[in-house]
Amino acid sequence: MIVGFDTGYFVRLLEGNKTAVKVWEDLTEGNIDAVVSPLTFFELKRLGLKGEIDNKSLETLFEAIEGICHIVWLNDINIPTFAASISYGTGIPAVDSIILASCLTMNTGKIYTTDSHFEAYKKKSISIIKM
């Protein structure tokens, strides 16, 4: 199975959330694959600059994400245009719509997030897991 991670997932992982840790273990053991939008790096770095994540943890996290997750780069017009449709149809903010569209283009079955507005995207083929 392929899962998608929103920024909030990584915040919960750093906090030691049991669900986040279990999913990460499944990923590192090869039981699942994961995708991440590059905008997640932006949001995590911003949290680091605000002092909400320490720089050493952030550096380690970035290396881990790059080493084990598939990063869905925004070099395809289909992702931002799909994101615009998601945002327009659901009211999900732009950055989160791009993160969601990035994950969906990789046929994810689940997306882990802390943002309740992700739940506005309702499709049978995807489960939004709010942590």
pLDDT of residue 122: 83
**57, pLDDT greater than 90:** yes
Q: What is the mean pLDDT of the chain?
A: 95
pLDDT of residue 69: 98
pLDDT of residue 79: 95
pTM of the model: 0.94
| Averaged pLDDT, 50-74 | 96
Residue 68 Cα distances to 44, 50, 61, angstroms: 17, 26, 11
Determine whether domain 2-130 maps to CATH 3.40.50.1010.
yes
pLDDT tens digits, residue range 64-86? 999 999 999 999 899 999 999 99
Helical pair 38-49 and 7-15, crossing angle rounded to 10 deg: 50
99 CB-near residues (< 8 Å, 6+ apart):
4, 6, 7, 37, 39, 40
